[in-house]
Structure 1
Amino acid sequence: MGAAGGKDTAATGGDAIAGEQRRLLNVAYRLLGSVTEAEDAVQDAYARWYALSPGGRAAIRSPGAWLTTVTGRICLDLLGSARARRERYVGAWLPEPLPGLAGRELRGGSGRAGAADPADQIVLDESVTTAFLVVLESMTPAERVAFVLHDVFRYPFTEIAGVLGRTPAACKQLAASARRRVGGVRAPVAADDRAEVVRQVKEAWENRDIPALVGLLDPAAVMTADGGGPAGAAPRPVEGGANIARYMVAVADRAPGLELLELPVSGLPGLVARRAGTVVTVASFGIADGRVTRIWVVRNPAKLRPWAGDGGTAGP
């Protein structure tokens, strides 16, 4: 996804402009961590494009770059107000998890499923994993924009300067600062090894086997759950492998009838819980040295819409 935004699409008409949507949605999701907000930001950018006079649009040499700049500025404004919105959020806030192909098949081909679903247009790679997006949340809005546009999408700092309203040199410093925050998040874990750990967690959880869970969890592991208010979730992170194991078993005892599935979550092996055919929980994992170090659990129904067969809200 390293295409820069300077691509000249002026001569190819409206189809080319519409064709920018997928790329813009990928940029906006990584900047915002929300499929719904990303879609709204891209639609806002297109509305501003079509609000220009025909002469104004014709004068823009690179509509793709113009749309990228506008989308970036919209996302920057949203990130600036996000802190206040997150302070009002009930419990911990986590980015929306994305289903892979198998997760999309859960929806049965109805409703939002299909090419028109914004979540289906987002490319799954290391820059959309939960661990990566959580680190992006720790950045300032300007750092996040500079880092995502440059390090993920390979936009030059001269173009990023137009988004942030800063000099290219200042944008380069922002990206470098953000890069230091990322640290070891990109440290690879073999896919087979990661999947095997998740599989063992599933089996131990289903068997209510606390000792087995403790053995799979790092002693300093942390579990963060996002219920958003409509769905029950631990209000604060649960710390320590033993505490997490006991919490997981207690939750299993209180939730009979759950079906636990091993499915890709935001591009990595994860667990998805269904009740009566409806996805109610999506969990992703941070893994190091064969043990689970982080668990991120999303139960907020609004954040599980990409997993829902009818495009509606998942049940409590």
Structure 2
Amino acid sequence: MAKVRKATARDWISGARLQTLPLAIAPIALGTAAAYVLPHEDAGPGWHWFRAILCLVVALSLQIAVNFANDYSDGIRGTDKHRVGPRRLTASGAAKPRTVFAVALVFFGIAAIAGLIIVIRTQQWWLLAIGAVAIVAAYFYTGGKRPYGYFGLGELFVFVFFGIVATAGTTFVLAGTVTLESWLSAVAIGLIACAVLMVNNIRDIEQDKLAGKRTLAVLIGNRASRIVFGVLLLAPFGILSFFTLFYANAYLVYFALLAAIPAVGITISAKTSAELIVALRLSALVALVYGLGLGWAIAF
């Protein structure tokens, strides 16, 4: 038996899956922008820079925690034995399962602490329930005896929490209200996040079938999944047309199509996992450009 190389610092950074972090950054940028344009003074209703940073910490920490929790849960369940993507810490034996789980708990803890500070500063105590549900949902995506990510519900979780909750929640935390801009941009970025998850699952569709992991891609099939991916990634540009009516620079966000269209084309025609990884990275880039670009257009 070949000796397994122990995880290095680079492996742990890779385990955090930095390419997925745009999915955490984009909704916070959009939610902050929607709050910023409301009537405000430096410390007024629409702008609280410290709260905005806390929202970003919550989103980033939850995203990293989910990535490590997935590594742990899929690894101990044996799902990643069939994996063709980048190696996982648990499944490869590079790190002990309990160590990977502990790292996930650390990031869940960071998210919880930042969320608690938000609650204390806003005095909106009901937000504790939202935060608790978000953490529980993040873990049980692939964790527990009946993970919902194994029953085709992953995209729904991503849309709700990394679209609606993250974007509208940020606006509410900063301004005490949620505007039409916030709701629409939440739907748009939620759809892009779903597209990122979909193309990732298309890459693993055959391996997930073998492992009994019934993602949405497995349930609807390879061809349909590729079409759905294209719809999810391009639909937000239809929503963008609303913003171009009211914000002079919003049209510039259409430059994100320079990444979106190739991502769709690659996904439709891809024959190898390497091609789908390229599409995944392009899709994450779309999320970042769309979120930061539209956020800038709204705010300035």
Give your verdict on TM over 0.5.
Answer: no
Select the structure that is richer in strand: 1
Q: Which structure would you say has the larger RCO, counting Cα contacts within 8 Å and 6 or more residues apart?
A: 2
Larger Rg over CA atoms: 1
- Normalising by structure 1, report the TM-score: 0.30
